[in-house]
Chains A and B, each alone.
Chain A
Amino acid sequence: MKHKTFFWFILPTLSAMVLFIAFPIVSVVIQSLHVEHEQVLITVQNCGPFGCEDTVTVDQEATEALREAAPLGQFNGLGTYTNRAHLAFAELGEAWNTTETWGEFWTRVMSLPFYAALAFTLTFTFVVTPFVLVLGLAIAVGVNNLPKIYKGPTIFLSLLPMMVPPVVGSLIILWMVDAEGIIGATIQNIFNDPSLSVRASAPLMWIMLIVYGIWSSIPFSFIVFYAGLQTVPEDTMEAAQIDGATKWERMRYVVVPHLMPLVVFITLIQLMDNFRVFEPIVSFQAGAFAQSLSTIIFNDLRASGNPLYGSAGATSILTILGVVILLSPVLVQTYRDFTRKSTH
């Protein structure tokens, strides 16, 4: 394709990307560099049904004047990125200087919201992704070897977790693990401990969220691998069989290499998706035990009524950076493969 033709071909997509992806990100970056104006507080008498008292209130006129003078707010540079709610450099330094053991230091770091969220997000991402790949492939191979008559219903059943909306799926599981629910009560019976509750224990809650994450993502990798299995060249498989390769060896040396592009594709999508884990934490009401980068953005925007745009912006940018870092090894690998192939 000529460069000029390609340019006109790509132009609509490119403009949409600039408009809907690049501009918003730029505006979020700008927002994250600013904080709000000083709120001029005055003490006034506040009277209501429960009596009068002196309280502070915002002096609207004075604050309005400040707002008009600089509509974006006060420039704060990277201050929001380094404050306690984000990278918390000062708090990290203090924790380092004041704690004696690694354990104490770790406890202090984990009480900083950003690092606590990052710890769960990374754990979730790195546990769920490999399980989804391996189990998805195993189910796909299993279904592929089924007699034809069972294939349809099995595929339908295997796709169920993906068809159930995430919020509904996680709510159903939440009711099951509740102390009164079928799984929760069974666990209590097995261990004979009435205070054992998935909803009251951090490790159990993490396991629950990770199991949910795997359960809800497997159908995606299953269906992609199943499609891929239909394209495995039969003559190669037969040749391998004639050469005396066992089932396992055929899987290892023929099927998996053939499916490698799909493995890369699923890994990319899963890393991205899992790094943005959100719905299960909200619907499991797991806020006490697990936060993710997405839930702290959500909290910044909703919790206090007057949203913390700067803080949410900074966390968003840090999340984007996180995704880029996570994906870079896979992307570099893909790029190398691509350049190697194109030189042939």
Chain B
Amino acid sequence: MNVKTLALSAAMVGLMAPAAYAQSCGPEGQSVRILANDFPAIQAVVGAAEEACASSASEFVRNHTNESRNIMNAALTPDPAEYTGVVVANATLTQLMNDGLLRPLNDLVAEYGENIPSNLQISIGGDVMAIAFMANSQHLYVRTDVLEEAGVSDIPTTYGELIAAAEAIREAGIMEHPIVINAQVGWNLAELFNTVYMAHGGQFFEPGSAVPSINSEAGVATLETMAALAEFANPDYLSQASNETQATWEAGQAALGLMWGSRGNALLDDEGSTADITGSTVLAAAPVVEGVGIPGATLWWDGFTIAANVPDEEAEASFAALATALNPEMVMANNDDAVWLLEGFEPGPAAAGVAATAQAGARPYPMVPQMGLLHTALGNELSDFMQGTESAEQALADVEAAYTTAATEQGFLE
């Protein structure tokens, strides 16, 4: 070992020393059962928890499934609950909290959370309800070589520039459909609306209530922007979500994409595409609306929660195990799998888009209990407008009517 590497490793140790990551797994011999979504970053966290604490637990169960959102409420309702901990995101946290299925983590944070900075503690009304560890958001993907060929010198920063760039590409005869958007009817179409609506400075509800307020000037402007984007998207866009848009991009059939940050690594790696495409793909901040300045994105975090209906010792052991996993070694080993909010993260090219979007002042996905219902209504009702069979005002009125019906049934509105 020469002097240089010695110094380097000493520096690394020095960097980590103050944290002194406590490997406490909480009470011995408890059952730890974790339900989580199924993608590499989440597997890394729960996997690190298992590695560190499975030996001191009586059992360590992990269920990674794309269906977790659909089963989590049912799984946490019985007492004792099926799982002791659930990995959630902004939207699913409120879904569980609506039914009162999560326990406040204040005392657990006090005991096991010395490494968890306060900004990662999701606190609602003074109670810590979840611990965030990674971020995600939509942003702009750009093929710089195609832009250059079409004579566009700058990466678009506004929707106006984005559409102008698409126009230039089409006119240059390079691509007929240069834009890709995740606009599959249902959840994705609604989320596209949410992001563009954010950029227009829109407000989803009347403050302090569950009364919708999307049938507004900002709402109409949002739909007009969406229609303008769709004009340059593949005609099948209403049935395309991340898997399809990623494939389109990797096949070199798109030059401007509004896609998720979590696809960044997949789009930039050397699988599924050519070096020409990956080499000229740049991840940039989500576009803004001129004069408003808020990026068209919703910031998301993923984090863990602990079930209410489990014995205190199991809750303690589960929290301790998951808290232990949030250490720099885990982050370094899985650096490119996510935009980590944790110490040790070195933002690479795959994280550039999310970082730029967050820095430009994007807003988080609204964390209010009735948001899921509005999201569903948007997803179901906007397709008529996108197909051109309905006016923007009528589409928004339909969304509000559909939301009001559902929200009344769920008791949010009288």
Of A22-30, A53-61, A125-133, A242-250, the stretch lying at the interface with chain B is: A53-61
Q: Nearest B residue to A66 by beta-carbon distance?
A: B411
Min CB–CB distance A50 → chain B (angstroms): 4
- Measured between C-beta atoms, what is the minimum distance from A33 to chain B in Å? 12
A-chain residues with CB within 8 Å of residue B405 when the two chains form the complex: 83-85, 311
Asked if B301 contacts A50 (CB within 8 A), the reply is yes
CA distance A9 to B234 in the complex (A): 62
A44 proximity list for chain B (CB < 8 A)? 124-126
| Chain B, range 281-328, C-beta contacts under 8 Å to A | 299, 301
**A44 closest partner in B (C-beta):** B125
A54 vs B124: C-alpha distance when bound (angstroms): 9
> A46-B124, A47-B122, A85-B402 in contact; A302/B70 too (CB < 8 A)?
yes
| Bound-complex Cα distance A286 to B205 (A) | 30
Complex contact B97–A57 (CB within 8 A): yes
Chain B residues with CB below 8 A from A58, complex form: 97-98, 100, 369
A149 interface residue per 8 A CB criterion:
no
A179 at the interface (CB under 8 A from B): yes
Residues from 38 to 68 in A contacting B, C-beta threshold 8 Å: 38-39, 41-51, 54-58, 60, 63-64
- Nearest CB of chain A from residue B35's CB, rounded to whole Å: 14
Q: Which among A191-199, A225-233, A262-270, A315-323 touches the partner chain? A: A191-199
| Binary CB contact string for chain A from 181 to 213 against chain B (1 if under 8 A, 0 otherwise) | 000000000000011110110100000000000
Are B366 and A36 in contact (CB-based, < 8 A)? Answer: no
> In the docked arrangement, what's the CA distance between A214 and B209, Å?
49
Output the least CB separation between A211 and chain B (Å): 18
B387 near A55 with CB under 8 A, answer no
Among B119, B379, B380, contact of A48 (Cβ-Cβ < 8 Å): B119
Q: Quick check: is A334 within 8 A (CB to CB) of the other chain?
A: no
Interface bin, chain B:
35 or more
Q: Quick check: is B82 within 8 A (CB to CB) of the other chain? A: no
Q: Determine whether B69 belongs to the interface, using a CB cutoff of 8 Å to chain A.
A: yes
In the complex, A91 Cα to B122 Cα: how many Å? Answer: 42
Which A-chain residue is minimally distant from B301 (CB atoms)?
Answer: A49
Contact A111 B390 (CB under 8 A): yes
Does A308 sit at the interface, judged by CB under 8 A? yes
Residue in B124, B126, B376, B411 whose beta carbon sits within 8 Å of that of A37 in the complex: B411
Tell me whether A305 and B372 are in contact (CB under 8 A).
yes
Q: Is the CB of A39 within 8 A of B125?
A: no
Contact B366–A35 (Cβ < 8 Å): no
**Is B66 in the interface zone, CB < 8 Å from A?**
no
- Shortest CB distance B204–A (Å): 11
Q: How far is the CA of A45 from the CA of B124 in the complex (A)?
A: 6
Number of A-B contacts (CB under 8 A): 181
A56 to B69, CA, bound (A): 22
A41 near B100 with CB under 8 A, answer no
Bitwise interface map of A from 69 to 81 toward B, beta carbon under 8 Å scored 1, else 0: 0000110100010
With A39-B411, A48-B122, A305-B91 known as contacts, the answer to whether A57 contacts B368 (CB < 8 A) is: yes
Stretch from B23-31, B105-113, B181-189, B220-228 contacting the other chain? B181-189
Q: Are A48 and B132 in contact (CB under 8 A)?
A: yes
Is the C-beta of A236 less than 8 angstroms from some C-beta in chain B? no
The complex places the Cα of A296 from the Cα of B408 at a distance, in Å, of 18
Known: A49-B135, A287-B383, A304-B373. A199 touches B208 (CB 8 A): no
With both chains docked as a complex, state the minimum distance between the C-beta of B6 and any C-beta of chain A, in angstroms: 36
CB-CB under 8 A from B176, the residues of chain A are 194
List residues of chain B with CB within 8 A of the CB of A37: 411
Q: Min CB distance, B128 to chain A, in Å?
A: 9
Question: In the complex, what residue of chain B is closest to A199 when comparing beta carbons?
Answer: B236
Chain B residues lying within 8 Å of A83, measured Cβ to Cβ, are 405, 408-409
Asked if A10 is an interface residue, CB under 8 A from chain B, the answer is no
**Is there contact, CB below 8 Å, between A56 and B239?**
no
A35 to B389, CA, bound (A): 33
What separation, in Å, do the CA atoms of A139 and B410 have in the docked complex?
A: 51
- Closest 4 interchain pairs by CB? A44-B125, A305-B95, A200-B235, A285-B239
Interface residues of B (CB under 8 A from A): 69-70, 73, 91-92, 94-95, 97-100, 119-126, 132, 135, 176, 184-187, 205, 207-210, 234-239, 299, 301, 341, 358, 363-364, 366-370, 372-373, 375-376, 379-381, 383-384, 386-387, 389-390, 394, 398, 401-402, 404-406, 408-412, 414
> Can you name 30 A-B pairs with beta carbons within 8 Å?
A35-B409, A35-B410, A41-B412, A45-B126, A46-B122, A49-B132, A49-B301, A50-B301, A50-B358, A56-B208, A57-B369, A58-B97, A58-B98, A80-B409, A83-B408, A85-B406, A179-B236, A194-B176, A197-B235, A200-B236, A285-B185, A287-B186, A288-B239, A303-B186, A303-B187, A304-B373, A305-B91, A311-B405, A311-B406, A311-B409
| Given A35-B411, A84-B404, A303-B186, 14 new contacts (CB under 8 A) | A36-B410, A38-B411, A42-B125, A48-B120, A50-B358, A51-B364, A55-B366, A56-B205, A57-B97, A178-B236, A179-B235, A299-B186, A304-B375, A306-B410
